[in-house]
Amino acid sequence: MASASRQLLARCMSSSAAAKKIAIKHVTVIGGGLMGAGIAQVAAATGHTVVLVDQTDEILKKSSKAIEDSLKRVTKKMFADKPEAASQFIEKTLSNFSTSADPAAVVHSTDLVVEAIVENLEVKNELFKRLDKFAPEHTIFASNTSSLPITDIANSTTRQDRFGGLHFFNPVPMMKLVEVLFFLSSAGYVVSRSCC
Ligand SMILES: NC(=O)c1ccc[n+]([C@@H]2O[C@H](COP(=O)([O-])OP(=O)(O)OC[C@H]3O[C@@H](n4cnc5c(N)ncnc54)[C@H](O)[C@@H]3O)[C@@H](O)[C@H]2O)c1
């Protein structure tokens, strides 16, 4: 086994106890476009408290509508002959979901930030640099970038060991695959919760 793989395995195993103590309950998704809306939908549908953030309330209204429409499509398949169960699922999912145009105001209580804004390093760096000042120490930051190096984004923060890539695929509510990227220096619980 390569040395890097051994290190990773050891880290996963030694951190399992710590991982149990740090449950991801509150998720902030930044960027309410195609990917961010899908990520927020999936996170809310799986029982997380989710705040979706974008630049304006007008954009967020569109994102919320897109999520409601998508939930209707998904539940049609999931609960083909049970319209009541479908309505309950939608209601429960939406009750986990809210929006905000002020990321600094919402990250103070979040366990995980997933960024899905415009694919521009400067803009992503500016956002994460700001969030780094407001998010608690335990908060894990992740980017959904398609093409930018995660290290280049993480370097705008002071939490390189709690920073990774969570690369979802379009359409998010239909695609089960998610690529998880992290550094070998990542804090044990980040690695453990991501891959073990
Ligand atoms: N579209 C895809 O198939 C796909 C797949 C995988 C990954 N990605 C990646 O996901 C990210 C988002 O892609 P998308 O297709 O959803 O883009 P999009 O253009 O549909 O949405 C981006 C959203 O981010 C918002 N935004 C921009 N700057 C912001 C800021 N500073 N703060 C808050 N919100 C801001 C915009 O208003 C917009 O609503 C990109 O990094 C992209 O590379 C895209």
Show the domains of the chain with their CATH numbers. Answer: 4-194 (3.40.50.720)
Average pLDDT of the chain to the nearest whole number? 87
Q: Whose CA is nearest to atom 7 of ligand 1?
A: 146
- Ordered alpha helix ranges (H), 79-173: 83-95, 103-106, 121-134, 150-154
Query: What pLDDT does residue 182 have?
Result: 84
Q: Whose CA is nearest to atom 20 of ligand 1?
A: 33
Give pLDDT tens digits for 146-165: 999 999 999 999 999 999 99
Residue 66, both tokens: 């897109």
Measured between its terminal Cα atoms, the distance across the chain in Å is: 17
Question: What is the distance in A from the centroid of ligand 1 to the CA of 35?
Answer: 6
Cα–Cα distance for residue pair 87/71, rounded to 1 Å: 10
* 98 exposure class (CB count in 10 Å sphere: 0-12, 13-18, 19+): middle
Which pTM was predicted?
Answer: 0.89
* Selected residue with higher pLDDT from 187 and 179: 179
Q: Whose CA is nearest to atom 5 of ligand 1?
A: 169
Give pLDDT tens digits for 37-62: 999 999 999 999 999 999 999 999 99
